[in-house]
Amino acid sequence: MTGTERDPDGAVIAKRADSGAPDTGEIRDLARAAGYRVAGEVTQTRKEDPALCLGEGKVDELARLVRRTEAAAVVFDNRLGPYQTYNLGTRLPDGVEVLDRFRLILDIFGQRARTRKAQLQVELAELRYELPRVEAKVSLARRDERPGFMGLGEYDESRERDIKSRISRIREELSQIERDEEDRRERRRESGFDLVALAGYTNAGKSTLLRQLAADLDVDENEGLHPDLDTTAESRDRLFTTLGTTTRRADMDRRDVLVTDTVGFISDLPHWLVESFKSTLDAVYRADLVLLVVDVSEPIEDIREKVVTSHDTLYERNEAPIVTVLNKVDRVPEEDVEEKAAALSALAPYPVAVSGTEGTGVEDLLDRIDRELPPYEHERLVLPMSDETMSLVSWIHDNANVNDVDYGEQVVVDFEARPVVVEKSRARANDLPAVAES
């Protein structure tokens, strides 16, 4: 590499912390997830510099490292204001892109977005990220009466209006998608399905665990495969592998259960970014049961912090029970798992220990799912012998757990099912001619 050529995949990590040693482990993982090669890092413990985030001397050190490594980007594990981003750009070599933590996350989301819903959510988040920056430029230009400052002026005012208009249109389209998905969830429930959602931080192993729980690679909804029902959910050790939702039928004997894997939680996210992806989290909020998956190989302090934050997020809009799943038990000694489970007992009583990779504990988890889901109702219908009755019995077999069917002068069906299925079976039975009393 010579002259001004730069390594397009090279990135230097920068992080400022108010106190303590700055930890760059997660931001390095994020940078690699975005496709960067980490060429080096600069860290500092001090109060934030309003103009540069880091101190001037540390920015000079950062610039020297960028020149030496010929990296094309600097990734901050901090939230940068519009002016900080601009000022840093003037202090770094020409052509070097400055990204903060949230811009990097948006870039990763953009790479992973495959469905219309995911693409809209990414665009909404990007626009909400850009809007305050454009508003700040417009405000400064008006205050100083300098329309040309930093390329500002009428263009930025027009851009501000365009962003607000586009945000409004995206919200309307996402609202329609949410309504369609809620209709789909209700049809699933009416067909006898319980809905279970996997939640947790990125790289907790949710996608790997989904493969262990699943019996089918797709879900037959009698309406074709919906784009969000991705049948090739990946389970590599990679952040944000799952951006949209992936739904599969669980391998259970007594119940028809659909398990949905959703986008992983990320630490230290601003409200506007979480809000942009709230329709993805609806799969969690509207589930009958939530499995909160945590990586038991992490330090107990990190696990506790993530469990607390996850509970705060989930309990805000979710009334379903939450079962904590200690995943990756194959990576730590058994006594460590027991010690961490005991340390979390106040936050997460009776967790289930599993290995999504090896399948250890999956049967115990399936039993726990069965116990925690809303109880089935028992029903016994006495029906006349007719073709219509045979059709109803077939439907009950498809949507309930049938204990016994007695075919005599009348047909007696003994079964257990979700309350909505029991109610629907009674309604269909009442529509049959000459129904005998049950």
Residue ranges for the known binding site for GTP are: 200-207, 261-264, 327-330, 355-357
> Beta strands 71-76 and 97-99: pairing type?
parallel
CB-side exposure of 13: number of CA atoms within 13 Å?
21
Report which DSSP code applies to 214: B
CA distance 275 to 121: 9
Residue positions forming the annotated binding site = 200-207, 242, 261-264, 327-330, 355-357
Length of the chain: 438
Q: In 10 A of CB 325, how many CB atoms? A: 25
Residue positions forming the annotated binding site for Mg(2+) = 207, 242
Q: DSSP string covering 240-301, please? A: TS--S-EEEEB--SS-EEEEEE-PPB-TT--HHHHHHTHHHHHHHHT-SEEEEEEETTS-HH
CA distance 261 to 208: 10
CB-side exposure of 317: number of CA atoms within 13 Å?
11
Report which DSSP code applies to 78: S
Among 311, 33, 101, 111, which residue's Cα sits nearest to residue 199?
Answer: 311
